[in-house]
Each structure stands twice: as C-alpha cells, then as structure tokens.
C-alpha cells in the first residue's frame, strides 16, 4: 500500500517561493500559510489547520478533482490602536492537498472551533469479500 502524500506539487512549489511571493506584493498571491496537522485513522483522514481570528465567512474550502483547497483571509483590525510591533501575518492564505483515492468526497465535513479548522475526510466503505455457499 502506498503512503498518502497530501502535499500537491503546487503546494511544494509555493513553499519554495513563499518568501519571495510574500515580499513581491504580487496581487492574488497568498501572504501567509496556516500550519496544518494531517493524520489517518482506520475510518478517515483528518486535516487540522490553525486559523486564529479567521471567521467562517472569510474562508473557503473546496474539493476540485482530487485536490482539497483551503483559502481565505485574516483581516487586520487596528481599531485606533498604536501598534509598536506586528509579527503575525495578515491577508490572504491558501493551502492545497492531494486527496488519496479512497476518500468519500461526498461526505467531507468541516468544523471551526477556537481557531482550529478540522476537516474530516471519511474513507470510502469497501465491500468486504462475501462467502457464497453452494447448495
């Protein structure tokens, strides 16, 4: 059985050029990428992404072909404050992952709780071999 590698070629290339894209000011280029954990159980794959201060209305999760895409924006609200230092990244973000063939795309669910986005990708139910008795 082949081990699932969730990072798409596009994601790997984006990581290589992440610093130069962010500093180039190119329109539509992500300015930061949320960190993710991905794990597998016997029934599902789970993707957990850290998205503090990102609301559901400012994020988009799509499945296109065999690619799961998470994108959106974390907005900076200065609200009349005088900041001395801002280290956290704001603006658009995008991550994409190749899905394994055995994901049940019709039953993917997502929840957002305390800034953690959890996407559950259930595995397709496999038909078990059935013994047929000869009468």
91: which strand partners? 74
129: in domain: no
The whole-number pLDDT of residue 55 equals 94
pTM: 0.72
Alpha-carbon span 120 to 70, nearest angstrom: 13
28: in domain: yes
127: in domain: no
Alpha-carbon span 20 to 73, nearest angstrom: 19
Q: What is the pLDDT of residues 49-103, one digit of tens each?
A: 999 999 999 999 999 988 999 999 999 888 888 888 888 889 999 999 999 889 9
1: in domain: no
What domain range is 20 assigned to? 9-77+92-122
128: in domain: no
Q: What is the pLDDT of residues 25-53, one digit of tens each?
A: 444 555 789 999 999 999 999 999 999 99
Total structural domains in the chain? 1
The whole-number pLDDT of residue 64 equals 93
Return the CATH number at 36.
2.60.40.790
Sign of CA dihedral 44, 36, 21, 81: positive
The whole-number pLDDT of residue 14 equals 61
């Amino acid at each position: 059985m082949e081990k699932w590698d969730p990072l798409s070629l596009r994601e790997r290339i984006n990581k290589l050029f992440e610093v130069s894209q962010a500093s180039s000011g190119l329109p539509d280029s992500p300015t930061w990428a949320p960190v993710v954990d991905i794990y597998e159980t016997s029934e599902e794959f789970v993707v957990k992404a850290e998205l503090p201060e990102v609301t559901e209305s400012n994020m988009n999760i799509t499945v296109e072909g065999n690619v799961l895409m998470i994108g959106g924006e974390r907005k900076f609200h200065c609200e009349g404050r005088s900041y001395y230092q801002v280290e956290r990244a704001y603006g658009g973000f995008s991550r994409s992952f190749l899905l394994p063939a055995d994901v049940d795309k019709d039953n993917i669910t997502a929840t957002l709780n305390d800034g953690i986005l959890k996407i559950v990708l259930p595995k397709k139910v496999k038909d078990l071999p059935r013994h047929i008795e000869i009468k």
